[in-house]
């Protein structure tokens, strides 16, 4: 009996293609694409939801405990750790920079903590959109100050001759893009209020337009909520927890899926342990997030990630960016039009296609859904 | 069906026709689409840009061919020397195989046109053609590379006017200007490069598709890879 693969990331559109929709659970699972986005991959870090793919968790949720550190302190410690690693292995630090809040804070943290010699080893991988999104930062802190490369070529640049640092996971630390939908629908005080299944269902109704689907998925997500090791009391907590527990792994691996055939031999466990880092992907950030629900909740969309914007402001004194910059899914500009591998397994092998027996999990939580 | 030729008029209509019988097999709008159809291996030919003259039996311009159902196209002949298209009075009946081949060719051309159109749209965003900007960018980048290769020797001012002009307007050093010009051009190159890989891949896939169902499946994959994969 052949053993199926343990999958880290899969392409949800590929496994829910029309011709596969008669497989148990696939039709119901397909609704997930409408809730988040077409290429958001669910892997449940609480092990409550069994998706129709043989997934395995790469980075479990850390055991909950309170930590007595500020967000800025954790950013500084992370930057120092990466700079030290760069010194130790004599490797440049290539930062994926979009001009958005997350990657700007990565560069701010590195520049704040770097010596002049270390700054010379920092290279920003960026695009025209990165300049457009934060022109002042480009003009004052990047142009002529650090090396610059075109971000679009990163699928051919991944190697063990550099550290690659991205601003991924800060959304999972601070909440969810669904905060905006919830605020738009229920008003500025709604996120801070006690979790309301009815209000949440109304928001999901904008995506699904089907009461049976909404109710079934609400039951599923409430099971994930019940598995949380920390309080998930408010509407904001609920949306954050869904994002934190279900989307984390997708975010971890998604950039790697675009790796060129010419560099995938570089991408193994050693690479992801020692060369490829999501700045906010540490236990310290996760514990800060789990222990500081008040820092995550917002009353208006402009305040989303306020802690992060405040740290940036203390560095560049750009009050306009602090007060008006809002989240903008900037990764799309880099990966749009690029060809993606559709599966990565736990051996870090990448595949465009896999035989069904290698990925399909018939014992999934979606197989008995009444739709 | 093993040999056909492609004709392009000034109105960007391309015709694929059977080399021996001269019967028309497919009409498409973009030259690049016709090139991709030729690369499928089943057809051979080359582009001839014609004079813009009425060629459909003096009735209409060649554009009319695009409105004819693909399975009826072989009822028309293309005369290469005169550049005219003539309807056959009593055509030899077409076989199902020939009809299906024409429908498939037309289907391939239709999907290839869609790929061509969306890739062109994406490129227009990064390569607007106003003010001969592409020429300026190219010259300025060559001068910047020359200036950098000289070790930023400011004695080259006469040979690198675009670089020094850029530095003066932006109020930065000539060295910073050269570095920025080279970097910005690399962004432009990267954006073009990004769309090229998917274009290469899908031109091949569409041009070699075996039936209409495959064409549809390939198009779904194209939409996924070109747009939807980025929705993360």
Q: What is the DSSP string of A163-213?
A: EEEE-TTHHHHH--THHHHHHHHH-TTGGGSBP-HHHHHHHHHHHH--HHH
Write b or e for each residue in B103-114: b if 16 or more Cβ atoms lie within 10 A of its Cβ, otherwise e: bbbbbbbbbbbb
pLDDT of B51 > 70? The answer is: no
> Tell me, what's the pLDDT at B4?
60
Tell if the CB–CB gap between B231 and A37 is shorter than 8 Å: yes
> Tell me, what's the pLDDT at B23?
84
Q: Which residues does chain B have within 8 Å of residue A148's beta carbon, measured at their own beta carbons?
A: 179, 183
> Tell me, what's the pLDDT at B83?
67
Using CB atoms, which residue from B186, B226, B232 is nearest to A254? B232
pLDDT of B61 > 70? The answer is: no
The torsion angles phi and psi of B27, rounded to 5 degrees, stand at: -125, 130
Report helix, strand or coil for A350: strand
pLDDT of B116 > 80? The answer is: yes
How does residue B212 score in pLDDT terms, banded at 50, 70 and 90?
very high
Cβ partners under 8 Å of residue A307, min gap 6: A71, A72, A174, A295
The torsion angles phi and psi of B41, rounded to 5 degrees, stand at: 95, -25
Using CB atoms, which residue from A126, A148, A338 is nearest to B194? A338
Cα A114 to the chain's mean position, in Å? 26
Mean pLDDT of chain A, nearest integer: 95
- A154 CA: distance to closest CA in chain B (Å): 10
Interchain CB contact of B180 with A (< 8 Å) = yes
Among all chains, which residue has been given the structure tokens 């994406």?
A: B122
Which whole number is the average pLDDT over B156-184?
96
- A75 CA: distance to closest CA in chain B (Å): 25
Residue among B123, B175, B191, B194 with most chain A CBs within 10 A, to mutate: B194
- A314 CA: distance to closest CA in chain B (Å): 26
Tell if the CB–CB gap between B225 and A339 is shorter than 8 Å: yes
Separation CA A123–CA B125 (nearest Å): 26
> Tell me, what's the pLDDT at B8?
47
Residue A274: closest CA among A200, A159, A133, A163: A163
Interchain CB contact of B126 with A (< 8 Å) = yes
> Tell me, what's the pLDDT at B85?
78
CB pairs under 8 A between A and B: 88
Report in angstroms the alpha-carbon separations of A36 from A2, A215, A268, B78, B226: 34, 17, 29, 53, 19
Q: Which residues pair with A96 in a beta bridge?
A: A125
Write b or e for each residue in A45-66: b if 16 or more Cβ atoms lie within 10 A of its Cβ, otherwise e: bbebbbbbbbbebbbebeeeee
Cβ partners under 8 Å of residue A298, min gap 6: A175, A179, A183, A191, A236, A304, A306
B2 or A236: which carries more pLDDT confidence? A236
Q: Judge whether A321 and A313 are in contact, CB under 8 Å.
A: yes
Report helix, strand or coil for A9: strand
Separation CA B102–CA A202 (nearest Å): 51
Which whole number is the average pLDDT over B41-53?
42
Interchain CB contact of B190 with A (< 8 Å) = yes
Which whole number is the average pLDDT over B148-169?
97
The HSE-up count of residue A304 (CA atoms within 13 Å, CB side) is: 28
pLDDT of A360 > 50? The answer is: yes
pLDDT of B7 > 60? The answer is: no
pLDDT of B41 > 50? The answer is: no
- B228 CA: distance to closest CA in chain A (Å): 6
Separation CA B95–CA B18 (nearest Å): 15
Predicted complex ipTM: 0.84
Q: Which residues does chain B have within 8 Å of residue A340's beta carbon, measured at their own beta carbons?
A: 225, 229
B37 or A249: which carries more pLDDT confidence? A249
How does residue B46 score in pLDDT terms, banded at 50, 70 and 90?
very low
- B119 CA: distance to closest CA in chain A (Å): 9
Using CB atoms, which residue from B186, B193, B230 is nearest to A336? B230
pLDDT of B10 > 70? The answer is: no
Report in angstroms the alpha-carbon separations of A192 from A103, A141, A182, A241, A290: 27, 36, 11, 14, 16
How does residue B128 score in pLDDT terms, banded at 50, 70 and 90?
low
Rounded to a whole number of angstroms, the CA Rg of chain A reads 21
Interchain CB contact of B103 with A (< 8 Å) = no
pLDDT of B52 > 80? The answer is: no
pLDDT of B50 > 50? The answer is: no
Separation CA A191–CA A179 (nearest Å): 7
* Structure tokens given for B107: 């289907």
* Structure tokens given for B4: 């056909």
* Structure tokens given for B109: 């051309």
Interchain CB contact of B214 with A (< 8 Å) = no
Interchain CB contact of B232 with A (< 8 Å) = yes
Among all chains, which residue has been given the structure tokens 């009826």?
A: B72
Tell if the CB–CB gap between B194 and A149 is shorter than 8 Å: no
Interchain CB contact of B116 with A (< 8 Å) = no
Report in angstroms the alpha-carbon separations of B88 from A140, A219, B77: 71, 68, 7
- Burial (CB < 10 A; 0-12, 13-18, 19+), residue A88, is exposed
Least confident of A279-283, A297-301, A330-334, A366-370: A330-334
How does residue B133 score in pLDDT terms, banded at 50, 70 and 90?
confident
Which whole number is the average pLDDT over B192-199?
91
Which whole number is the average pLDDT over A280-293?
98
* Structure tokens given for B86: 């003539």
Chain B's closest residue to A339, CA to CA, is: B225
Residue among A36, A123, A336 with most chain B CBs within 10 A, to mutate: A336
Largest CA distance in chain B: 77
Which whole number is the average pLDDT over A318-324?
90
Interchain CB contact of B189 with A (< 8 Å) = yes
Tell if the CB–CB gap between B195 and A337 is shorter than 8 Å: yes
How does residue A212 score in pLDDT terms, banded at 50, 70 and 90?
very high
Chain A's closest residue to B187, CA to CA, is: A150
A127 or B90: which carries more pLDDT confidence? A127
Tell if the CB–CB gap between B228 and A39 is shorter than 8 Å: yes
Cα A351 to the chain's mean position, in Å? 21
Convert the pLDDT of each residue in A84-96 to its tens digit: 999 999 999 999 9
Convert the pLDDT of each residue in A135-158 to its tens digit: 999 999 999 999 999 999 999 999
> Tell me, what's the pLDDT at A119?
97
How does residue B19 score in pLDDT terms, banded at 50, 70 and 90?
confident
- A148 CA: distance to closest CA in chain B (Å): 7
Cα B205 to the chain's mean position, in Å? 15
pLDDT of B44 > 50? The answer is: no
Residue among A337, A340, A341 with most chain B CBs within 10 A, to mutate: A337
> Tell me, what's the pLDDT at B97?
86
Largest CA distance in chain A: 63
Mean pLDDT of chain B, nearest integer: 82
Which whole number is the average pLDDT over A274-299?
96
DSSP B98-110: HHHHHHHHHHHHH
Among all chains, which residue has been given the structure tokens 């495959």?
A: B214
How does residue A35 score in pLDDT terms, banded at 50, 70 and 90?
confident
Which whole number is the average pLDDT over B84-89?
80
- A178 CA: distance to closest CA in chain B (Å): 13
pLDDT of B113 > 70? The answer is: yes
H/E stretch holding A270: helix A269-274
């Amino acid at each position: 009996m052949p053993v199926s693969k343990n999958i880290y990331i899969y392409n949800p559109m590929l496994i829910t293609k029309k011709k596969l929709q008669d497989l148990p659970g696939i039709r119901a699972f397909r609704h997930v694409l409408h809730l988040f986005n077409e290429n958001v991959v669910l892997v449940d870090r609480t092990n409550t939801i069994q998706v129709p793919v043989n997934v395995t968790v790469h980075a479990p949720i850390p055991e909950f405990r309170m930590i007595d550190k500020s967000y800025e302190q954790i950013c500084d410690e992370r930057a120092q750790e990466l700079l030290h690693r760069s010194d130790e292995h004599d490797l440049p630090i290539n930062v994926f920079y979009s001009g958005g809040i997350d990657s700007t804070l990565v560069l701010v943290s590195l520049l704040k903590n770097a010596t002049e010699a270390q700054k010379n080893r920092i290279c920003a991988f960026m695009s025209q959109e990165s300049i457009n999104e934060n022109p002042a930062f480009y003009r004052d802190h990047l142009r002529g100050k650090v090396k610059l490369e075109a971000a679009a070529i990163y699928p051919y640049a991944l190697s063990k001759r550099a550290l690659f640092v991205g601003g991924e996971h800060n959304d999972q630390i601070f909440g969810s893009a669904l905060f905006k939908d919830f605020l738009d629908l229920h008003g500025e005080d709604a996120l801070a209020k006690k979790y309301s299944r009815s209000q949440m269902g109304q928001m999901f109704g904008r995506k699904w337009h089907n009461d049976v689907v909404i109710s079934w998925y609400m039951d599923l997500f409430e099971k994930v909520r019940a598995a949380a090791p920390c309080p998930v009391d408010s509407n904001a907590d609920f949306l954050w927890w869904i994002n934190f527990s279900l989307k984390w792994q997708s975010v971890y691996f998604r950039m790697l899926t675009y790796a060129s055939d010419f560099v995938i031999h570089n991408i193994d466990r050693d690479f992801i342990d020692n060369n490829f880092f999501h700045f906010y992907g540490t236990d310290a950030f996760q514990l800060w997030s789990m222990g500081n629900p008040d820092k995550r909740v917002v009353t208006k969309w402009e305040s989303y990630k306020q802690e992060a914007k405040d740290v940036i402001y203390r560095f560049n004194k750009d009050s306009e960016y602090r007060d008006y910059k809002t989240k903008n899914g900037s990764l799309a500009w880099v990966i749009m039009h690029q060809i993606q591998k559709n599966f990565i397994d736990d051996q870090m092998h990448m595949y465009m296609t896999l035989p069904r027996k290698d990925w399909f999990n018939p014992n999934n939580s979606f197989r008995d859904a009444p739709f | 069906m093993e040999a056909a030729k492609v004709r392009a008029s000034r109105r960007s209509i391309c015709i694929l026709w059977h080399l021996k019988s001269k019967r028309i097999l497919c009409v498409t709008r973009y030259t690049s689409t016709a090139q991709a159809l030729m690369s499928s291996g089943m057809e051979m030919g080359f582009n001839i840009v014609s004079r813009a003259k009425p060629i459909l039996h003096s009735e209409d311009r060649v554009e009319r061919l695009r409105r004819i159902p693909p399975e009826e196209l072989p009822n028309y002949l293309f005369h290469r020397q005169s550049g005219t298209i003539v309807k056959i009075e009593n055509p030899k009946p077409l076989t199902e195989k020939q009809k299906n081949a024409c429908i498939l060719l037309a289907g391939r051309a239709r999907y290839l046109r869609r790929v061509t159109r969306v890739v062109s749209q994406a490129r227009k965003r990064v390569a607007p053609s106003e003010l001969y900007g592409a020429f300026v960018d190219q010259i300025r980048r060559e001068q910047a590379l020359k200036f950098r290769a000289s070790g930023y020797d400011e004695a080259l001012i006469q040979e690198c006017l675009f670089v020094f002009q850029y530095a003066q307007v932006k109020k930065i050093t000539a060295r910073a200007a050269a570095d920025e010009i080279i970097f910005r051009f690399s962004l432009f190159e990267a954006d073009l490069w990004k769309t090229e890989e998917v274009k290469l891949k899908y031109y091949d896939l569409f041009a070699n598709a075996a039936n209409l169902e495959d064409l549809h499946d390939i198009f779904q994959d194209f939409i996924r890879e070109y747009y939807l994969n980025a929705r993360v």
